[in-house]
A and B are shown apart, each in its own frame.
Chain A
Amino acid sequence: MDNRTLLYEGSEWDFNHLRRVHDAIEEIAIGEMGLDVYRNQIEVITSDQMLDAYASFGMPLMYSHWSFGKRYSREALLYRKGAQSLAYELVINSDPCVAYVIEENSMTMQTLVIAHACFGHNHFFKNNYLFRQWTHAERVLDDLAYAKRFIAECEERYGMQAVERTLDAAHSLMSQGVSRYAPQRSVRSKDLAIKAESRRSHEEATYNDLWRTLPKTKESPDKDDDVEQQLAAAALRLPEENLLRFLSLHAPKLKDWQREVLDIVRKTAQYFYPQQQTQLMNEGCATFVHYQLMNRLHETGQVNDAAMLEFLHMHTAVVTQPDFDDQRFKGLNPYALGFAMMKDIERICQTPEPEDEEWFPEIAGRGDFMGVLRDAWADFRDESFVLQFLSPHLIRKMRLFAVRDETDSPHLSVEAIHDESGYREIRHRLAQQYDLSKRDPEIEVTEADLKGNRRLVLTHRVRDGKTLSSSTCNRVLRHVANLWGYRVRLIEVDADTGTTLNDYDAVALP
């Protein structure tokens, strides 16, 4: 244990301290823990600016929309009433990785934030396969700037209301706007816009009214309708789960700018999709990293006992997991579970018990827990991480149990507890709980008639009898109909039996 000089004393921070702390942490994070991060950019902001950032999905730039104003109004009221405190930090998956720190924070808090965001989250963003596949850290900010400018131009050209209506509709379909498979490496939005523009001007230049007067070909009456429909469906690549993409490509009445607006919203949804799938791991990783780093700083004499106590106080608050019957219970705390699982991996690697040898033969007793964790952070998402690493030891420690809630039963039934026969069941069920594709309704475009009545049909495959809430369903459907331009139908079909449960219908406003 080497005794170095203290990085800071007391709670006041200044820019010099921030730099020294960052460099000291970097030395440990990269030198000892083997983390791999984007360059860091720390930005000091005020609490008002933090509220601003909160309000627009936590992004530094965002196009304008009333819903961000609504969010801001809500956050501001809660914050000023003291009902809710601000997050200590905000970090953006970009290269360089931008982390916001609030000026009111004490120096220890800033140290914690730097460790947590600039190294924990940053490492996760850079290495996790979902982020690597789906997001482009180096151009996020460019894309956002483009979106902001494009929307503003549209407002100028087509009127604020028209843009607002399109955005409202697009936002309501955001969670149906992600592609869950096969990432598409798309060209930059800017280039796309240039292409669309040149295509439009080409059409304008070459338009000839004479073509309209050509006689129509007679359609053969005895063509098999079924075959034709199948062909049409194949051309549209049905079924399609990405509603926003389908509409932006095929909705007959949309203007070019509206298609681009849908694409902007779809890309935003897609950008956040990896974050939604890895919340447990991402927060767990950041929490584990800050815990390790702060302890190392203390061991090497770079922070004093007072700072360490302050840190532990905050850390404990973050990783508290109230029991299910506690008033404060709001579901599983991703910080707590994530941190606990990663500490558990450390334990399994260093001091395994016979049980662990049996459950985790690959890593038990391997010693190099950082290596195991780095691999886990890179190759898993919440669902697979739980499925792979939740140990009986931790299930017992947290006293996890599985219940089933049937709507029409007055009772919850306990289906598995932390015993020999329950471990696998609990692990399996908890993993499912983190599987986004099971959490969101499974809605697909199944039919689209582009020639006849132009009706669009969506199908919701209902699992476990969980049907859609009819009031919101009707309202979203109206949005869809307005984008599509014609009648839209949504059928709810039981995934197991194939029976139709509900049938919704909406027409476009003229």
Chain B
Amino acid sequence: MQVIDRRQNPKSKSLGNRQRFLRRIKSQIRKTVKDAIENRSVTDLDSGEKVSVTANEIGEPTFGFDGAQGSRNYVIPGNHNYQRGDRIRKPGGGSGSGSGGSPDGDGEDAFVFMLSRDEFLNLFFEDLELPNLAKRKLKSVASEKWSRAGYANDGSPQRLNKYQTMRRSLARRIALKRPRLDELNRLEAELEQAEARADAEEGHNEETERLARLIEETRDRMRAVPFLDPVDLRYNRFEQTPKPATQAVMFCLMDASASMTESLKDLAKRFFILLHLFLNRHYRSVELVFIRHTYTAAEVDEETFFHGRETGGTVVSSALEEMLRIIRERYPVQDWNIYAAQASDGHNFDHDMPRTIALLQREILDLCQYYAYIEVGEEESSYVSALWSGYSQLDAHPHFARATVLDPTEIYRVFHKLFASNRQAS
């Protein structure tokens, strides 16, 4: 007999099979993921998702009996008082299979299982045609700082690490048996004594000669093995690492007037989700502020933000003012990295445009790490909206970017364009 501990063996042997399974039902899962995006909040993408697949797609058919045909015999336990020839009324009004539970019925339920977080995110990004998020770098991550990163063999003299250098020197000296200085001193002292004795009395020349020879050898060895050799030198090495800015706030601004339909809001939502996932990779905590506006603006919760709808005119500057107020009250610029994304179908009152531009140009863009404007629309048109034409004068600003989105599949491309690493943001 032998006992083998297999616990260290790789688990998830079924992983490959599971991927095959997911591939097979991809179209259904895509739909689930899409639904999930609609029903979940912007921040809540961290857990998996339950997927229900109807049996037909993944059924493994076998020849089986039709449960509603023919007759069956059962032997079952627990007879109370039935006698031979008794008739038992079938439960459920007479039709359907008997109480014994037909052993060969082939009812298949909808198949339910969980997607893990990674599987979910993969599919989520796939839906956005996102090839690889990991390659992207956010340019505007605060500052970089130098940090020590071990030792190097060469470097500038001011970076010489004396302790490490001496350690290596000592080790080398011991290994190569370099005589110590005090040993030489001792020999020289002995020689001195010997010479003194030799002066006093004749016949001690042998001893002085031996000592002189020894001293000469010792000196040779000391010359052959230097006290400090270039191989001993060690320099401190420094590396540039991005200084992690610990917190960021993300402002979501949206026009809430009637012209923003559910599907336009869905486009906006996908953009916000992507931005949130993205910021999460760079900051320890990301806070969300939702501001919606018609002709007045208000901070709202996410639910109202995406699902409420109002009527009324559109005054974009009201949202910007609200954002400024919130920054002043809760998010001091020195402590927070501020991002803003504005989603709109482009409507604004003409008389409000100068004020909007002025607010952005003089105040907001300087406070923000990045301000992205996405214009959502349902179809291509040659019509240029008020906001789009008005914002054209902001294009020169390094913290500003804008793009239009017409279809969910474009979201990632637009996002990439706005946040591409070659964009120069200070």
- Using a CB–CB distance below 8 Å, which chain A residues touch chain B? 15, 18-19, 22-23, 26, 39-46, 48-49, 51-52, 55-56, 64-70, 72-74, 76-77, 80, 96, 100, 103, 118, 160, 164, 168, 171-176, 321-326, 329-332, 398-407, 410-419, 421-422, 426, 429-430, 432-433, 439-441, 443, 460, 462, 464-473, 475-476, 479
Contacts and interface: CB of A to CB of B under 8 A. Distances in A.
Nearest to B2: A41
B223 interface: no
Nearest to A441: B63
B63 A472 contact: yes
A462 B60 CA distance: 23
A70 B58 contact: yes
B396 interface: no
B17 A468 contact: no
Contacts of B97: 405
Interface stretch (B82-90, B173-181, B211-219, B295-303): B82-90
Contacts of B88: 403, 411-414
A18 B99 CA distance: 45
B13 A52 contact: yes
Interface stretch (B20-28, B235-243, B315-323, B368-376): B20-28
A168 B93 CA distance: 39
Given A55-B14, A330-B101, A413-B85, A468 B21 contact: no
B251 to A, nearest CB: 38
A399 B62 contact: no
A469 B84 contact: no
Nearest to B4: A43
Contacts of B156: none
28 contacts: A19-B3, A22-B1, A22-B3, A41-B4, A43-B5, A45-B6, A48-B12, A55-B17, A64-B20, A66-B23, A66-B24, A70-B21, A73-B113, A321-B77, A330-B101, A398-B78, A399-B77, A407-B68, A407-B71, A410-B89, A412-B90, A413-B88, A416-B84, A417-B83, A421-B84, A430-B75, A433-B75, A466-B104
A418 B17 contact: no
Contact of A42 (B1, B9, B63): B1
A103 B78 contact: no
Contacts of B83: 414, 417
Contacts of B6: 43-45, 49, 100
Interface string B98-139: 111111101000011110000000000000000000000000
Nearest to B93: A410
B60 A325 contact: no
Contact of B79 (A96, A399, A443): A399
Given A422-B84, A468-B66, A476 B74 contact: no
A44 B77 contact: no
Given A40-B1, A41-B2, A331-B103, A64 B16 contact: yes
B284 interface: no
A91 B29 CA distance: 35
Interface string B39-83: 000000000000000000011111111111111111111111011
Interface in B301-327: none
B62 A174 contact: yes
Contacts of A479: 61
B11 interface: yes
Given A69-B14, A172-B62, A468-B65, 17 more contacts: A19-B3, A22-B3, A44-B3, A51-B14, A64-B16, A73-B113, A73-B114, A176-B63, A324-B76, A329-B76, A412-B98, A412-B99, A414-B84, A416-B84, A441-B64, A468-B66, A469-B64
A413 B73 CA distance: 10
B84 A466 contact: no
B18 A405 contact: no
Nearest to B106: A469
Contacts of B74: 402-403, 405, 433
Given A44-B6, A414-B87, A49 B113 contact: no
Contacts of A467: 65-66, 69-70
B71 A325 contact: no
